[in-house]
Chain A
Amino acid sequence: MNAALELRSVSKSYGNQRAVERVSLTIPRGTFFSLLGPSGCGKTTTLRAIGGFESVDSGEIWLNGERIDLLPPHRRKVNTVFQNYALFPHLTVLGNIEFGLRQRGAGPFDEPVRRVLEQLQLAGKESRRPSELSGGERQRVALARALVLSPELLLLDEPLAALDPQLRKQVRAELKDLQRRTGISFLFVTHDQEEALALSDALAVMNHGAIEQIGAPTDLYLRPATRFVASFLGTMNWCNGVGVRPEALKICRGAPPDGHTPVHAVISRAIFLGPVTQIELRTASGDVLLAQVAQGGDVYKPGEAVQSWWNPADELRLTP
């Protein structure tokens, strides 16, 4: 079986600036795959290269066993949900959704259009203009417009960034449902690690144009291969050369259990977050550590001297 998408050592430079450097990855069919990284890491360039809006300097892009990196955008069976949706302002919702079908010329469109309108809860809004829609509706039109063409791969360029935070979580769940129901492979580009962890079957973390690590969310979170991945996914404490997640860092007033080396620290801040309180500690060597104390446990106050410790099984040893 072919992968939905395969990138083979794709590179792209602008002048002497390397935007994407020897990126290789495989997206199995029907998966929700994310490209995660800070802005300027090359994730959007990679996405645009797959869509056909950027040429690649070297390497190959294969879609379902067909090499596509030399095809113009309209000949590639991938569709894109653009960051600000790029809805056509002079067309209605229906006009936007039918646009791609009309380019193919094959009719009738009624059945696929009706299905996608229903799937994305847009029925009744067909004759609206994009300017008359809410942010969430625009996003659904952008999805509908692409999905109606049944692409072999759907590219999503930060599709949640334009939504307000409350809506974002709800839409996130809907997006995951939609991917499962349609079975279409999604390639999702984001700089939001929480989004990537919540949505993806697998993800690739990019930095400086190259991929740092590819794997399932749990793999990347629990077994990051590099310091960058460890710090970018969630929060990581660095203490005496090893990494410890805040939820694994424990604090006590007395001595820690036998066999655990304590680190002396002073509490500099205690922030109540509801279910947990986040404790900020300062060690004698000046490191700042974060720990989480569950509600109902001991109460710590700023200025208090404590011992912190962790299970050796929870520590990560990574070369900087």
Chain B
Amino acid sequence: MVLTLAAPLLIVCAYSMLSRGAYGGVELPVTPENYARLFTPLYAGIFLRSFAVAGIATALCVALGFPLALFIARSRRPNLCLALVILPFWTSFLIRIYAWIFLLRDTGLINTVLLRLHVIGEPLPLLYTNGAVVLGLVYGFLPFAVLPLYAVIERVERQDKVLLEAAADLGASSTAVFWRMLVPLCMPGIRAASLLVFVPCLGTYLVSDLLGGSKTVLIGNVIQNQFTASRDWPFGAALSIVLIVAAAAMLYAGRRGGAELA
């Protein structure tokens, strides 16, 4: 634990308070400068956009993952369905995101088909948009939402079936049973799914790099840049620390919410 988790974190923390070296790396003196730069409108804006994109992607993952998990829980072959959900992990994430480029670009599959069918006159700008980034995030992280949602739905339908029956007995239609009983009872799983999707969405740079182009810069891209092109390790470290603190705060808030419900 100390070696793999605490030590790297301490190094990042120390770097974030040092000065930038000319060719990367860090130098003395200690300075608060790196954190001060975070509060400029440029970076505050990127932080906000990153949270918004991650939030939207998380909401979509849960909204799409819940019905899928429900379907799997009620299917005859749940294990097979779950295996299919996990199957994409056997291919590199990078390659799968590249595949989306071939689907979305101006000469990609979607635009080609629509053009040929004369549905559109000129290619739709699909790639390098915020939408493409959200799509990529949802695609990439949906399995992380489905697994905890499946676990909780399966448990509720097995252990608490009588609660669903009781709701119907008290006059709830099947829609009302879904919204007023099943979803509230599945809240712990919904919360777990949200955190499992939100945290990686917040830190990712691969999806926004490939599908967002230069237009959609997320915090992950900025951090990556500091360690590569910009060679500003201390600032990259400061950004990372803020991101880690923000994610930890979200986790803590999620835990608190869970404790209140239980």
A binds B: yes
Binding site for B on A (CB under 8 A): 51-53, 72-74, 78-80, 82, 84, 86, 88-90, 99-100, 103-104, 145-146, 149
28 intermolecular pairs with C-beta atoms under 8 Å apart: A51-B165, A51-B169, A52-B168, A53-B169, A72-B168, A73-B165, A73-B168, A74-B169, A74-B172, A74-B173, A80-B169, A82-B165, A86-B162, A88-B163, A88-B167, A88-B181, A89-B163, A89-B185, A90-B184, A90-B185, A90-B261, A99-B172, A100-B170, A100-B171, A103-B171, A103-B173, A103-B176, A149-B170
Q: Which residues of A contact B185 (CB under 8 A)?
A: 89-90
A88 near B172 with CB under 8 A, answer no
A82 near B166 with CB under 8 A, answer yes
A149 near B168 with CB under 8 A, answer no
Interface of B is mostly: helix
Choose among B167, B176, B181 the residue with the greatest number of A CB atoms under 10 Å from its CB. B167
When chains A and B are docked, how far (Å) is the Cα of A78 from the Cα of B166?
Answer: 12
When chains A and B are docked, how far (Å) is the Cα of A104 from the Cα of B170?
Answer: 9
B170 near A103 with CB under 8 A, answer yes
When chains A and B are docked, how far (Å) is the Cα of A88 from the Cα of B160?
Answer: 10
A74 near B168 with CB under 8 A, answer yes
A79 near B170 with CB under 8 A, answer yes
Partner of A99, one of B170, B174, B187: B170
When chains A and B are docked, how far (Å) is the Cα of A146 from the Cα of B170?
Answer: 7
Q: Which residues of A contact B176 (CB under 8 A)?
A: 74, 103
Q: How many chain B residues have a CB neighbour from A under 8 Å?
A: 19
When C-beta atoms are compared, the residue in chain B nearest to A155 turns out to be B169
Q: Which residues of B contact A74 (CB under 8 A)?
A: 168-173, 176
B171 near A86 with CB under 8 A, answer no
When chains A and B are docked, how far (Å) is the Cα of A82 from the Cα of B176?
Answer: 20
A53 near B165 with CB under 8 A, answer yes
B162 near A82 with CB under 8 A, answer yes
Q: Which residues of B contact A149 (CB under 8 A)?
A: 170-171
Choose among B165, B166, B184 the residue with the greatest number of A CB atoms under 10 Å from its CB. B166
Q: Which residues of B contact A103 (CB under 8 A)?
A: 170-173, 176
When chains A and B are docked, how far (Å) is the Cα of A82 from the Cα of B162?
Answer: 8
Known: A74-B171, A86-B162, A90-B184. 7 other contacts (CB 8 A): A72-B174, A86-B165, A88-B163, A90-B261, A99-B170, A103-B172, A103-B173
A99 near B165 with CB under 8 A, answer no
CB of B176, distance to nearest CB on chain A (Å): 6
Q: Which residues of A contact B166 (CB under 8 A)?
A: 80, 82, 86, 88
Q: Contact string, B243-262, partner A, CB cutoff 8 A, digits 1/0?
A: 00000000000000000010
CB of B2, distance to nearest CB on chain A (Å): 39
When C-beta atoms are compared, the residue in chain A nearest to B171 turns out to be A103
Q: Which residues of B contact A78 (CB under 8 A)?
A: 169
CB of A49, distance to nearest CB on chain B (Å): 13
Q: Which residues of B contact A99 (CB under 8 A)?
A: 167, 170, 172, 180
Q: Which residues of A contact B168 (CB under 8 A)?
A: 52-53, 72-74
When C-beta atoms are compared, the residue in chain B nearest to A83 turns out to be B162
CB of A146, distance to nearest CB on chain B (Å): 7
When C-beta atoms are compared, the residue in chain B nearest to A148 turns out to be B170
A84 near B162 with CB under 8 A, answer yes
A73 near B261 with CB under 8 A, answer no
Give 3 closest A-B pairs by Cβ, nearest first: A100-B170, A103-B171, A86-B166
When C-beta atoms are compared, the residue in chain A nearest to B184 turns out to be A90
CB of A84, distance to nearest CB on chain B (Å): 7
Q: Contact string, B176-205, partner A, CB cutoff 8 A, digits 1/0?
A: 100011001101000000000000000000
When chains A and B are docked, how far (Å) is the Cα of A145 from the Cα of B174?
Answer: 19
CB of B156, distance to nearest CB on chain A (Å): 11
CB of A219, distance to nearest CB on chain B (Å): 32
